[in-house]
Amino acid sequence: MAARAGRPWASRALRALGVAGVLLSLLALRVVAASAEELRQARHLEDGGHLAEAIAHHRRAARWYAPGNPYAEEALARLETIGLRAEDAGDVDLALAAHRSIRGAVLGARSFFTPHAARLARADARIAALMGALPPPPLDAARSVEERTALHLSLLQHTPRPSVPWALLALAGLAGWIGAAFAFVTRALDEDDQLVPTEARLWGAVWIVSFGLFLLGLALA
């Protein structure tokens, strides 16, 4: 009898895990699909010679970061290529736009760690070199190109980290969101898969609040 009584709970737990897995999979698919679409548009613009517009779409493709997302990686690689080619052609504005887009995309995707740290370091070095070679303002007129480059690089490397409290709030919201979905499936449905109104209202509310905290933490981290 005890074994029989345990079967509905085990079934609900497996179902809840399945729901959580589906939700996470859908989120990952959304990120990858958006990144792929932005990359497609960027390639089309590149082929047409519209490099400034292509840079914007490459940056958006790279911002849709997820571990193992090949489209974000390719977008960053294309930005680096555009930047280096623009440098060779003497187009400083385009080169800076490309390298700064790498920097913005990588910093926008970081959390407790910084993805693509090596590529970020290369972008910072190129930005500093380009800025150091520009005609200096009167305040920096006495400094050499090397000194100005070093100054710009030190400023770029001094980047504030994400706010830990807001990042923790985002993680707590994510945990609550997933936990509420799990609880809804295991507790808000009876053995006949009918809603239990009290439990459904409770865990539905927890899901909504947790999702809101997750979005708030991401926005302010």
Domain count, the chain: 2
Residue with the bigger pLDDT between 24 and 216: it is 216
Per-residue buried b or exposed e for 66-79, using 16+ beta carbons within 10 Å of the residue's own CB: beebebbbbbbebb
Shortest CA distance to 203 belongs to which of 19, 1, 11?
19
For residue 189, the SS3 value is strand
Joined together, the tokens standing for residue 132 give 């150091």
- Let me know whether 155 and 189 are in one domain: no
* Amino acid present at 122: R
Which residue matches tokens 């052609």? Answer: 89
Domain membership flag for residue 127: yes
Domain membership flag for residue 2: no
Joined together, the tokens standing for residue 215 give 């979005």
Q: Last residue of some domain: 133, 161, 189?
A: 161
- Let me know whether 122 and 139 are in one domain: yes
Average pLDDT for the chain = 86
- Let me know whether 36 and 100 are in one domain: yes
Q: How far apart are CA 33 and CA 68, in angstroms?
A: 13
Joined together, the tokens standing for residue 64 give 């849709």
- Let me know whether 215 and 127 are in one domain: no
- Let me know whether 44 and 151 are in one domain: yes
- Let me know whether 178 and 208 are in one domain: yes
The whole domain housing 215 covers 165-220
- Residue 217 CB neighbours (<10 A): 21
Interval 55-60 mean pLDDT: 96
Joined together, the tokens standing for residue 92 give 């400083």
Give the pLDDT band of residue 2 (cuts 50, 70, 90): very low
Domain membership flag for residue 59: yes
Q: Last residue of some domain: 111, 141, 161?
A: 161
- Residue 179 CB neighbours (<10 A): 16
Is pLDDT above 60 for 4? no
- Let me know whether 137 and 184 are in one domain: no
User: Does the global pTM surpass 0.85?
Assistant: no
Q: How far apart are CA 118 and CA 121, in angstroms?
A: 5
- Let me know whether 146 and 180 are in one domain: no
- Let me know whether 85 and 132 are in one domain: yes
